[in-house]
């Protein structure tokens, strides 16, 4: 595309502030996107600081590879391979890790990526479009039970069963290959929806989350983050979906709780085992100014935790 797609980084200042940047620290941006968070981190790093950025999207990676900064390393990888990437780079632990989850604005705004119902384009939806089946290919083979489960569980769509049935019927006539076809199909099936919301919103979201295994990858990466944080290191996670936020919230809570001891065990407070993460503050959301300039920030929730001094 000749058009330059602009990406407004959500919770930019808040996320970098949450990491409590040390000038000589090592930081990991697990979702580089267009580099908004990474650029601000680099501004706060000294000459001996280091920033490693990951992304599975080749367009994002290509953008990062253009950066000329000896402190910066761009890696084409999903964040589930965090441990492997650090091992290959000779890094054992880092001072901070940032996860900015979900789909980026450029991915939504580039019609050919097939993420958005706003354009009629090939139905792709892959964050890493160099591998794996497209959404169109998955819709061609998924059975009705799986379609219902995905749309219901990942999209929290109450008309999931009806949409799944409609997909099965429609694909027997012709393959569902474009976003426009799917939007039209869902629109005819879902008769009611929130004011101002496209009827296909939840279905598109569900297919995208499932196709890219977003919840499964989040589940895999969170323990790796704890393992590879230095004592005192910070973890900041920005999520845009209630299922993601719930997973992050419960993970931090569980890592904050020490091993449960039986009641009435005679033990000093100093001897109670400590958890591996300490929650830092409350969940952070975008302020009014940011919401006015970037409505996509309305669903963003950031949670922050710090690695305890437990080895």
The binding site comprises: 35-37, 55, 79, 100, 107
Detail the residues annotated as belonging to a binding site for S-adenosyl-L-methionine.
35-37, 55, 79, 100, 107
Return the SS3 of 159: coil
Rounded to 10 degrees, the C-alpha dihedral 142/145/151/153 comes to -130
The candidate with the shortest Cα–Cα distance to 181, out of 196, 202, 192, 167, is 167
Q: Rounded to a whole number, what is the largest CA-CA distance in the chain?
A: 71
> Distance between CA 123 and CA 7 in Å, rounded?
22
* Angular region, 134: left φ>0, alpha ψ -120 to 50, beta rest: beta
Query: Going by C-beta distance under 8 Å and a sequence separation of 6 or more, which residues neighbour residue 43?
Result: none
Q: What are phi and psi of 96, to 5 degrees?
A: -170, 145
Q: Give the DSSP H or E segment for 292.
A: helix 288-293
The candidate with the shortest Cα–Cα distance to 308, out of 283, 272, 282, is 272
Inter-residue contact 304 to 11 (CB < 8 Å): no
Return the SS3 of 134: coil
Query: Going by C-beta distance under 8 Å and a sequence separation of 6 or more, which residues neighbour residue 21?
Result: 27, 41, 44, 45, 49, 95, 96
Query: Going by C-beta distance under 8 Å and a sequence separation of 6 or more, which residues neighbour residue 153?
Result: 206
Q: How many residues does the chain have?
A: 311
């Amino acid at each position: 595309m000749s058009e330059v797609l602009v990406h407004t980084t959500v919770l930019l200042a808040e996320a970098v502030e949450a990491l409590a940047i040390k000038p000589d620290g090592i930081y990991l941006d697990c979702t580089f996107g267009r580099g908004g968070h990474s650029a601000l981190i680099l501004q706060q790093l000294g000459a001996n600081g280091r920033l490693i950025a990951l992304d599975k999207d080749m367009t994002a990676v290509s953008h990062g590879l253009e950066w000329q900064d000896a402190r910066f390393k761009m890696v084409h990888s999903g964040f589930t391979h965090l441990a492997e990437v650090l091992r290959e780079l000779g890094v054992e632990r880092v001072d901070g890790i940032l996860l900015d989850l979900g789909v980026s604005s450029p991915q939504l705004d580039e019609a050919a990526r097939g993420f958005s119902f706003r354009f009629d384009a090939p139905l792709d939806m892959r964050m890493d479009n160099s591998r794996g089946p497209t959404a169109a290919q998955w819709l061609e083979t998924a059975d009705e039970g799986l379609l219902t489960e995905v749309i219901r569980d990942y999209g929290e769509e109450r008309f999931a069963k009806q949409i799944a049935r409609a997909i099965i019927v429609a694909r027997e006539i012709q393959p569902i290959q474009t976003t426009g076809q799917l939007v039209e199909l869902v629109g005819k099936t879902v008769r009611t929806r929130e004011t101002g919301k496209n009827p296909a919103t939840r279905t598109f979201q569900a297919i995208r989350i499932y196709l890219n295994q977003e919840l499964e990858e989040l589940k895999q990466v969170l323990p790796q983050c704890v393992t590879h944080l230095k004592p005192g290191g910070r973890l900041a996670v920005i999520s845009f979906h209630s299922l993601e936020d719930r997973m992050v919230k419960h993970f931090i809570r569980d890592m904050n709780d020490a091993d449960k001891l039986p009641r009435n065990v005679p033990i000093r407070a100093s001897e109670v085992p400590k958890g591996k993460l300490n929650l830092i503050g409350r969940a952070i959301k975008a302020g009014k100014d940011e919401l006015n300039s970037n409505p996509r920030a309305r669903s963003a929730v950031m949670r922050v935790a710090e690695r305890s001094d437990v080895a």
